[in-house]
Each structure stands twice: as structure tokens, then as C-alpha cells.
Amino acid sequence: MKREKVVLAGGTGFIGRYLAARFESEGYTVVIVSRTEGLSWNDAAGVRNALEGAALLINLAGKSVDCRYTPANKEAIMRSRTETTQTLGEALLRCEQPPPLWLNSSTATIYRHAEDRPMTEAGGELGSGFSVSVATAWEDTFFAFACPQTRQVALRIAIVLGEGGGAMRPYRNLVRWGLGGRQGSGHQRFSWIHIEDLYRAIRFIAQEAHLQGPVNCSAPFPVTNRQLMASLRRQLYMPFGMPAPAWLLKAGARLIHTETELVLKSRWVLPEKLLASGFRFRYPRLDAALAQIINGWPATSLPELS
């Protein structure tokens, strides 16, 4: 029997490799589109052929934002998202049997700095600044396509936590350097999702035909930055951590090789659509997620996705 096909665009990063391995473990054939392996973005015919008859298209393509926002990096961050989305949309419209679902990555950073209340799909307020302009341009490019045979969902993904990549590297470094106290005021919210729950949310969305438009992919219990750092210190057996005020983080931005916005912005995001549809998180609480990622606590059998 022919195996169902998943097309994973931008599938060579931390999230993409995890999703590819999980889909393959479930018996899917995974086709990668990227700059470095699998199908090339320049192979228009090959991309269209890959999409033909596919069960699912997931687009994760985009230059990492874990860098300094130089003019060159800003341009690359924006273009790597909008141009790849445009390429996929044009290829999909040429298909005779397009995939029934197109999941396009977005980001929970699209919402404003929020310490007063959580942001949901229905009641969230968009923010301002470069990161928000990238997110809105990304979603605008995606939803500009009218795909009569394809449901479209923008995954507003919170900070992804998992072994071997994502946000864990810079946070681990801060703890190991003795800077594992609060960053800035420590009151800013940290919305996150375990990478396994991101995979399971994707599978869930594929089964729930009513889900469309933006969907927040974030754990239901965000924490403050102060709580995040305390949990990291516990899991890394670090008894102390010096606080890092905002001015110190900005002065030392080159040391952590990223923008301070990634640490200081308050992301208070709730997965309203997923919860209302009955999705159950495997890792709803941060302590359990970090224990699994850092200390290898084995995951128990997952609940059924349906």
C-alpha cells in the first residue's frame, strides 16, 4: 500500500528534523524542501510534483531569528519567510490534487508585549517593531492565497523547547555562566511549547477540519521569566544565579549571540483554539517539560490523538 506523503518545507532545522522523524515513525513518506538537502526551492516542477497528492504541507522555512538584527540579517529574515511562502502557494495552485491542509509557520511574537493579560486568537492584540512586521508580512503572504481545496492554518508558535536545539542553548548557557537569575524585571511572561506537543498539535489540527486561520501553539501554563530561570536552575543543579538587568543584557548582546527582545519581551499567549477543540497537552507544565528535556525523564505513552 502506498504511504501517505508529507511535504516539509524548511525541514532541516531543529523543529523540522524532529517533525520529519516523528512523521516517518508513523509511517509517512516525508519530502524535504530546503536550500541544502532534498528538493531545491529553485526546482519549481519538483516542488509542484511533491505537493501533488500529498496529505499535508508544512512550511517552516525561514532564517533563524537567533542572531543580531543587522540590516543584512533583517532582510534575510523577512525574505526567507515571504518568498518561500509565495513559492509554495504558487506551486500548490498548479496542483490537480493539492494537499487538503497547508500549515504555515508563524510566531507568537506577533502579539504585543503583554504583562496585563493573555493573548488569544480571538482577543489578542498585535504588537509593533521588526519581529511583528516580519510575522504580519509572513501571515499576509500566506493568507493572500485563495486555495479552494486546501485548508490554511498559520501556526503561531511559542518558544519551542526540546533536546538539542531551540531556545534551550542560550538559556542553558546563561545558567551555566552563573547568570541564571531573572532577566530584566523577571515579570515578563514566557510562553513555550514542548516540541513533542507541537508535533501532536499538528496531528490534531489535521484531524479537526474546523480549525483554520491563526492557531496559537503554546502550552496552557506560561510562566514568568523569574519562574523559568528558577526551574532551569533546579533541573541543571545550579544553586544560584545572578540576575541580569536589562542594561547588562543589552550591553552583552554579542555574548549571547541574539537580540535581547527574545529574552525581555513578555509573551503571554494561550492556546484558546486548541483547548476549545479538546486538544490535550502531554507537557502542559514547564517543570515536567524541562525534566524530560534536560534529564531525560522518559515520556509515558501518549494519549490518543483523536
Angle subtended by helix axes 195-207 and 14-25, to nearest 10: 60
CA torsion, points 98, 8, 90, 65, in degrees to nearest 10?
150
pLDDT at 304: 39
Cα–Cα distance, 229 to 223 (Å, whole number): 10
Buried b (16+ CB within 10 A) or exposed e, 56-93: bbbbbbbbebeeebeeeebeebbebbbebbebbbebbb
Nearest to 302 by CA among 278, 275, 277, 283: 283
Between strands 151-157 and 56-59, the pairing is unpaired
* Cβ-contact 161, 293 below 8 angstroms: yes
Between strands 56-59 and 5-9, the pairing is parallel
Three cell numbers written together for 161 = 523547547
pLDDT at 162: 93
* Cβ-contact 267, 108 below 8 angstroms: yes
pLDDT at 66: 76
Between strands 192-194 and 151-157, the pairing is unpaired
Three cell numbers written together for 172 = 542553558
pLDDT at 127: 95
Q: Please state which CATH class domain 5-295 belongs to.
A: alpha beta
Three cell numbers written together for 131 = 519581529
- Return averaged pLDDT per consecutive 10 residues of the chain, 306 residues in all: 84 94 96 94 96 97 85 94 97 97 97 97 96 96 97 97 82 83 92 97 97 98 96 91 77 63 90 98 96 76 37
Q: Is the pTM of this model over 0.95?
A: no
Q: Where are the domains of the chain?
A: 5-295
Q: Angle 99-39-149 (CA atoms, 0-180°, nearest 5)?
A: 10
* Cβ-contact 81, 61 below 8 angstroms: yes
Q: Following DSSP, what letter does each residue of the chain receive, concatenated? A: -PPPEEEEETTTSHHHHHHHHHHHHTT-EEEEE-SSSSB-TT-HHHHHHHHTT-SEEEE-----S-S---HHHHHHHHHHHHHHHHHHHHHHHT-SS--SEEEEEEEGGGBPP-SSS-B-TTT--B--SHHHHHHHHHHHHHHTS--TT-EEEEEEE-EEEETTEETHHHHHHHHHTT--S-BTTS-SEE-EEEHHHHHHHHHHHHH-TT--EEEEE--S--EEHHHHHHHHHHHTT------B-HHHHHHTHHHHTS-THHHHS---B--HHHHHTT---S--SHHHHHHHHHH-PPP-PPPP--
